[in-house]
Chains A and B, each alone.
Chain A
Amino acid sequence: MRDVAIIGIGMNEKWGELWDKSIRTIFTEAALNAMDDCNVDHIDSMYIGCMSGGLFVGQEHLGSMLADNLGADFIPATRVESACASGGLAFRQAFMDVASGMSEIVLAGGVEKMLDVDGGAATYALSTAADQEYECFHGVTFPGLYAMIANAHMAKYGTTRKQLAHVSVKNHMNGSKNHRAQFPFKTTLEEVVNSVMVADPLTIMDCSPVTDGAAAVILCPLDLAKKKFANKPIIKVIGSGHATDSIALHDRKDLTWLSAVELSGKRALKMAGKKIADINVCEVHDCFTIAEICVTEALGIFEPGMGGPSVESGITNIGGKIPVNTSGGLKSKGHPVGATGIAQIIEITEQLRGISGDRQVNGAKVGMTQNMGGSGGSSVCHILEVN
């Protein structure tokens, strides 16, 4: 396998309600921004993470449409789906394409246009990431699934309502410094706890929003990056891990433990030759506040049951020992599901390049991303290091 580097990154100017632009336009914007970031004039192939073009905008066959709109005529272009982990998985496919020697300059992108449909249709589209016949049939929603995880976690470990709120407060604080964030406002523990209840104990302020957005990065062999793209810090992809678990939450032995997250993290760390303690900054899948708590435990950043007390202590703040979700996370930055995994890679790349401004984690050399599908049925992790 060849060593692989990230040379270009691009997103839309801001994520949110992009009513005036279609899925093809928002994707192409992000892709062109990534190509301009490294001044490449062509790409050899591309992978696009998208959970449900079909249900959100009635459009499948994105490989054809988006390669054409990018002016990348006739290249191999592949749409990748693993629910909310589609972006992370698209990045992994692009990484493998370059590492294997099959392609030289590869684009990994993600896109979701979620606000062209009403709330009920968006809820339905997202629910297809759960077991339709044995979970959704009974009327459960995604907030409902994570609420059940939260109640189980609270019963098992004594995690508190306030600790959940701390995740939202921290991520909105970080997002308030991110000009691309959909909801860049700050919030308080009281506001989070007293917001509209969605599925007990989770309020609307425990939930990530629905978002229009796209993101893209350009990968190439490390040798080529050193020769032709050395005008910016070179970011190496040193670890990639992917794992699956049962799609239905009720089929898991321990409802508080995300095995796919644990295994994808271990696989990525093993490939990288790193320990979790070597990670300086981390972007994880906080689709709901409880998710960030469970993920930080499953990755081994904290002991089981210590995710809540840890976020409360401030250890995951910017300036803390292990900053988590410096971008604002899915909660504040927005969660266009297919694009989220790529945006996580972009945040870590910017941190390692040292260009994160007010969000910069000083001295960050090694960073990690974790992107989750459904209630934990799939997870993809990557580890990046500045050369």
Chain B
Amino acid sequence: MGITARNWREYPQRYRLEAAKCSQCGKVFFPPRLICNQCKSRKFETIKLPGEGTVKTFTVIRVAPTNFIDEVPYAIGIIELLEGFSTMMQIADCDPEKISIGMKVKLEFRKIQSDGEAGVIMYGYKAVPVSE
């Protein structure tokens, strides 16, 4: 669907987990923004997000968008990586029935989807359970 440019310009965030931290109030934005919605500062520093977090909520997708039809069922959740900061990703390498809110996960670099049969492969992050 011609989404190559939309993919490569997100590489810093997806491949290196880079976020923007407001220099004034400390709020973290992912992807980076130009103005902080909390204190309106326009100064940020680039930080690397931690590679571990906890499941805040999740679901198991059983009816998928066209690009993900071969993957069903798959789990997807909102993962808290820092206090007050969360983002969405798939939860892989586990039985979806065993996922629970509060579960600890770590982030791994994975293939997410491809742009049709002949297009670019798009990589990013997925969460996998941390074995206790």
Contact = CB atoms under 8 A, between A and B. Distances in A.
Contact of A139 (B6, B71, B78): B71
Interface in B65-80: 65-69, 71, 74, 76-78
Interface string A330-341: 000000000000
B65 A127 contact: yes
B61 A155 contact: no
Contacts of B62: 196-200
A120 B71 CA distance: 15
Interface residues of A, number: 36
Contacts of B60: 197, 199-200
Interface in B16-55: 30-31
B64 A139 contact: yes
Contacts of A148: 57-59, 76-78
A196 B73 CA distance: 13
Contacts, number: 99
B56 A152 contact: yes
B4 interface: no
Interface in A266-293: none
Contact of B124 (A137, A200, A255): A137
By size class, the interface of chain B is 35 or more
Would you call the interface of chain B mostly helix, strand, loop, or mixed? strand
B84 interface: yes
B128 interface: no
A250 B108 CA distance: 19
Given A138-B112, A200-B62, A155 B88 contact: no
Contact of A255 (B56, B68, B122): B56
Nearest to A150: B59
B94 interface: no
A140 B84 CA distance: 22
A140 to B, nearest CB: 5
A120 B66 CA distance: 5
Contact of A135 (B61, B68, B84, B88): B88
B63 A199 contact: yes
Nearest to B64: A139
Query: Among A133, A149, A249, which residue has the most Cβ atoms of chain B within 10 A?
Result: A133
8 contacts: A124-B66, A134-B30, A136-B65, A137-B122, A138-B76, A138-B89, A197-B62, A199-B62
Interface of B: 6, 10, 30-31, 56-69, 71, 74, 76-78, 84, 86-90, 96, 101, 112-113, 122, 124
